[in-house]
Amino acid sequence: MLQFVIKRFGQSIVLILIVTIITFFLMNLAPGGPSSMMRLDATEEERQAIAEQLGLNDPVVVRYGNWLVNAFQGDLGLSLSSGEPVMDRIMERVPYTLQLAVWTILISVIVGIILGILSAKKRNKWQDHVINFGSVIGLSVPSFWLAIMFILLFSVQLGWLPSSGVGGASLMEQFTSSLMPVIILSTATLPTIVRFTRSSMLEVVSQNFIRTSRAKGLKERVVIYSHALRNALIPVISIIGVLIPRLLSGTVIVESVFGWPGIGRLIVEAAEGRDYNLVMGVTVIVTIVVIISNFIVDIIYSKVDPRVKNVG
Amino acid sequence: MTGLLNVNNLSVDFKTDSGKIKAIEDVSFQVKPGETVCIVGESGSGKSVTSLAIMRLLEFENGEISNGEILFKEEDLARKTQDEMSNIRGNDISIIFQEPMTALNPVFTIGRQLMEGIQHHQKVSKQDAEKKAKELLGLVGINDIEDRMYQYPHELSGGMRQRVMIAIALACDPKLLIADEPTTALDVTIESQILTLLNELKEKTNMSIILITHDMGVAAEIADKIVVMYAGKIVEQGSVYQLFDEPTHPYTKGLLKSIPQDKGPRLKRLYSIQGTIPSLTQLPKGCRFHPRCEFATEKCLQEEPPLLKANEREVACWNYEDVIKKEVKQT
Ligand SMILES: Nc1ncnc2c1ncn2[C@@H]1O[C@H](COP(=O)(O)OP(=O)(O)OP(=O)(O)O)[C@@H](O)[C@H]1O
Ligand SMILES: [Mg+2]
């Protein structure tokens, strides 16, 4: 176990380095500068002075080096647009995104597995076709378009759900305001889980050990929901690790459309304002979140599949 | 009708993309209490299909019993619902499959897979089931039982896994055990160990066994009765003495000649029946065996021989009298 954690830790550091290098250099290729320098009445000298003060005139490599040294000491710097510490700005947004992400994963996994089993059991029957059609629609319709359609229908026309914001203190309000964002986010993840569960289930039920469990006289219910499902879930668990990055990139669009004050919108704001420090900070935090969630997925995986031995 | 199991005129169809195929046709045989019946025949002759039909496991693999009855203790298994069958499978009738490597669930422990059937059929407590499971592992010759109970299939060798499969099959003291080529996937030393084990178990428990094999040598050692199948039909059946002393079907005769002999010059080429078994979709007209048969006459090409019965033995050959008289030519 310890060995596994250490190895993983090493890999993660390398990954974070690569991600930050790419982000840093791409970001600096984009024209424009931090929005605090964009005041319309600022003179050229004033801009130069600020740029000098922020170290923006140094070569990119030097600036990345400086950023990296600070970051390793836990200092992600100050936001160039607001002057607050980057860490604070991120942390005030994290709970909102987490709220969306956790609900989306929960719903995708639970509903996805149920629909996947149903689809496999009713293979090539109408239920299977309906589920499959829904999956294709969910995966292929762009989420910004779907989000706008949802707002037009449920907020503007019917007035059932708020079109933006996080809602007030009451649970009901929180529920109604997060409902649409969660549903839109799920359209990118749920169909994948449905398909994986279906194909995995179909593959497993044709295997010999399923015949053995029937030969023992076990009821079909036990054969399917205990013997088959337990095996079928193994590949489904590993796909969850892949879905987490997809989900987080989905929040960029969904949070923007729904005015949701999470990480996804923060990175848009940061990029628009050329707030280099904030962009880097969000990148690092999101990468760490992805790494940790994949780590958790791997641990669960090894618990479910006894043939995987490298995790304790 | 004194049999524990009477299979009468059993036919099985498979629905495939290219239409229905008849995997076995008109198969009838009897298994008496305490008797060991061997079903022999080349690969693809319908041995596994017959055993799956008796267990009523065909429905899960796009097969169906299209005709015939399977009387077990006077009750027709072919007419039972799957729900009723689940009380019989693993309880009165058990099966050991051909593929020990994949027959156990990879994510459950050996102990759990053993106890599951016991708890399902006998409604005993977990402790009692566990005790019984350990007894069974001992019975089939597994060591370190305490550890094995908590191991997963991938931690066991093929021979060990097949022993576990046998233990699972024996869990509820079945009246009939079907062993479908239990040793083909294993090496020779393990093979003889497993066969010895089956023989010992039979002596201890007086259960009936249907042993499926394509090895006449194995059949000779352990069978009371032999059923020879070819391309989905029974071509000959009789007691082991009758068949070995006086085979009446050319196919049986060929199978007997192809048993490797311990004695004699080793350089002598092993006999093998010429040609290959036909595909079920392209069965020849007349007798199914005629393209490979040296006794084939004009009649064999045109008409399928019925199963003729005499002295408790049966043969499906127009020329069986000639077969008895003449030695098969060495090829
Ligand atoms: N699920 C299935 N669908 C279609 N055809 C099948 C199916 N199962 C078996 N068959 C066909 O039925 C025939 C008999 O197969 P079976 O498995 O009984 O042979 P066998 O005598 O057990 O051979 P082996 O010694 O190789 O185990 C074969 O031609 C096979 O292709
Ligand atoms: Mg077989």
Interface test with A, best of B98, B107, B110 (most A CBs within 10 A): B107
- Mean pLDDT computed over B320-329: 70
Any CB–CB contact under 8 A between A304 and chain B? Answer: yes
Nearest to A209 among B90, B105, B120 (CB): B105
- Write out residues with Cβ below 6 Å of ligand 1: B 14, 16, 21, 23, 41, 43-49, 61-63, 98, 181, 214, 280
Interface pTM (ipTM) of the complex?
0.89
Any CB–CB contact under 8 A between A123 and chain B? Answer: no
Interface test with B, best of A214, A302, A304 (most B CBs within 10 A): A214
CB within 8 Å: A220 and B108: no
Which pLDDT band holds residue B330 (cuts at 50, 70, 90)? very low
Percent of chain B with pLDDT over 90: 52
Which pLDDT band holds residue A312 (cuts at 50, 70, 90)? very low
Task: Kindly report the length of chain B.
Answer: 331
Pick the CATH number of A97-311 from 3.40.50.300, 1.10.3720.10, 3.40.50.2300, 1.20.1340.10: 1.10.3720.10
Q: Whose CA is nearest to atom 22 of ligand 1?
A: B48
| Pocket residue to mutate for ligand 1, from B10, B12, B14, B251, most atoms within 8 A of Cβ | B14
List the beta bridge partners of residue B177.
Answer: B94, B209
For residue A193, what pLDDT is reported? 95
Rounded Cα gap, residues A267 and A284, in angstroms:
12
Q: Give pLDDT tens digits for B51-66.
A: 999 999 999 988 999 9
> Which residues from chain B sit within 8 angstroms of residue A215, using beta carbons?
55, 57, 89-90, 94-95, 97
Considering only residues B172 and A177, tell me which one the structure prediction assigns the higher pLDDT.
Answer: B172
Lowest mean pLDDT across A9-18, A34-43, B29-38, B271-280 = A34-43
All structural domains of chain A with their residue ranges: 97-311
Rounded Cα gap, residues A29 and B36, in angstroms:
82
- Mean pLDDT computed over B126-139: 92
Q: Ligand 1: distance of its center to the CA of B47 in Å?
A: 8
Q: Would you give the DSSP letter of residue B98?
A: S
Tokens of A48: 């130069």
Nearest to A208 among B91, B103, B152 (CB): B103
Rounded Cα gap, residues B281 and B20, in angstroms:
9
Any CB–CB contact under 8 A between B168 and chain A? Answer: yes
Any CB–CB contact under 8 A between A303 and chain B? Answer: no
> Which residues from chain A sit within 8 angstroms of residue B86, using beta carbons?
214, 217-220
State the smallest CA–CA distance between residue A242 and chain B in angstroms.
23
How many CB atoms within 10 Å of residue B244?
17
The beta strand positions in chain B, using DSSP E, are 5-16, 19-31, 36-40, 63-72, 75-76, 93-96, 176-180, 208-213, 225-230, 233-239, 308-310, 313-315
Q: Give pLDDT tens digits for A206-234.
A: 999 999 999 999 999 999 999 999 999 99
For residue A33, what pLDDT is reported? 67
CB within 8 Å: B165 and A218: no
Percent of chain A with pLDDT over 70: 95
- Mean pLDDT computed over A77-95: 87
pLDDT at residue A42 tops 70: no
Considering only residues A44 and A214, tell me which one the structure prediction assigns the higher pLDDT.
Answer: A214
